[in-house]
Amino acid sequence: MNARRPLRTPAELAEAGLVAPEDLARIEAVAERYAIALSPAMAGLIDPSDPNDPIARQFVPDAAELTTTPEERDDPIGDLAHSPVEGIVHRYPDRVLLKAVHVCPVYCRFCFRREMVGPQGLGTLSPDAMDKAFAYVAAHPEIWEVILTGGDPLVLSPRRLAEIMERLAAIDHVKVVRFHTRVPVVEPERIDAALIAALKASGKTAYVALHANHPRELTSDARAACARLVDAGIVMVSQSVLLKGVNDDPETLAALMRAFVETRIKPYYLHHPDLAPGTSHFRLSIEEGRALVAALRGRLSGLCQPTYILDIPGGHGKAVIGADAVRPKDGCYTVSDFRGNEHVYPPEP
Ligand code: SF4
């Protein structure tokens, strides 16, 4: 498929052969509630003849999104409970989220902020709200790191990004600026010299956390975009969501983590899917997730191991939920090795 611009409506998806005519009415109903965008780079990766295509599953709306389960919630990770001023989330002592923009180049069907992002979402922070957000960061010397997220901060123009970075440069206690983005994968052409210069404009240490969930997303264009960032001195880490029908098997997860490391991106977080509305078809159990993470232990280099985490609903922050290798027993411990065998620690003399 050779789309030249993002596909944004059910009709455009149907025309591209990604939505069956008989499903169109239900997909229109999904579109009334949740934003749609599929970038040309991602559209080009989809095999329309594969009903289980893992790229399509992430971006093409599904009638299952019309089903909301009782445990799902509009603000699954509790951003609002920790938002002292508009655009800032201050959940942990030493860092804040700065949500400058609420649009994305693609809209993930499992998005944890799906009630906030999109053309009908919370929009871009006004100049006045931006002033208040920077004043908040400046007034809190414990803030060591600012994480630009949203929405996808790399949809902002280099000029807007440079402005943000120059304002952060003036706040001495902020040492690290992190960008959470899908852009290097879904719109790799955006990663050009002007954007990279903007990311470095503060003189602070810059990290880019790349969100990708399937190894096919790491195309040669995506890898080249990441190389431009890393060569410019920007450190990259990954974040992925464990998703049923996308990456919930050890082979796919292993290939994804290896693709990150080959691209000089350190695997960082593997998120258990959040309780976002209309996403139950993506969720697997924590036990299933732990079994997958345990399967990676034996087969992959230590460089390729992500940390499996759950964002505790209600805004209580992240918890590491990978399998415990160590258990207390009779005044010592039993430790499981990567084959599942148990050993006593310390060993008997
Ligand atoms: S890029 Fe991130 S914020 Fe945007 S739709 Fe996807 S998960 Fe949500």
Read off the pLDDT of residues 17-45 as tens digits, 9 standing for 90 and up. Answer: 999 999 999 999 999 999 999 999 999 99
Instruction: State mean pLDDT over 121-142.
Output: 94
Distance 303 CA to ligand 1 centre (A): 26
Specify the range with the lowest mean pLDDT, choosing from 101-105, 162-166, 314-318, 335-339.
335-339
Rounded alpha-carbon distances, angstroms, from residue 314 to 67, 76, 296, 342: 21, 7, 30, 36
Distance 193 CA to ligand 1 centre (A): 24
Instruction: State mean pLDDT over 271-299.
Output: 95
- Test site for ligand 1: of 77, 182, 187, most ligand atoms within 8 A of the Cβ: 182
Please tell me whether residue 216 adopts helix, strand or coil conformation: helix
Spatial neighbors of 293 by CB under 8 A, at least 6 apart, are 270, 306, 308, 322, 323
Residues in contact with ligand 1 by the CB-under-6-Å rule are 104, 107-108, 111, 113, 117, 151-152, 182, 211
Distance 152 CA to ligand 1 centre (A): 7
Contact 94, 143 (CB under 8 A): yes
Q: For position 3, what pLDDT does the model report? A: 66
Strand pairing partners for 145? 95, 176
pLDDT interval class at 124 (50, 70, 90):
confident
Is 304 labelled as part of a ligand binding site? no
Specify the range with the lowest mean pLDDT, choosing from 134-143, 206-215, 328-337.
328-337
Read off the pLDDT of residues 246-274 as tens digits, 9 standing for 90 and up. Answer: 999 999 999 999 999 999 999 999 999 99
Q: Which domains does the chain carry?
A: 10-66 (no CATH), 80-319 (3.20.20.70)
Would you list the DSSP string of 277-346? TT-GGG---HHHHHHHHHHHHHHS-GGGPPEEEEE-TTT--EEE-SPPSEEEETTEEEEE-TTS-EEEES
Active site residue 47: no
Q: For position 119, what pLDDT does the model report? A: 85
Q: Which of 34, 62, 108, 226 is catalytic?
A: 108
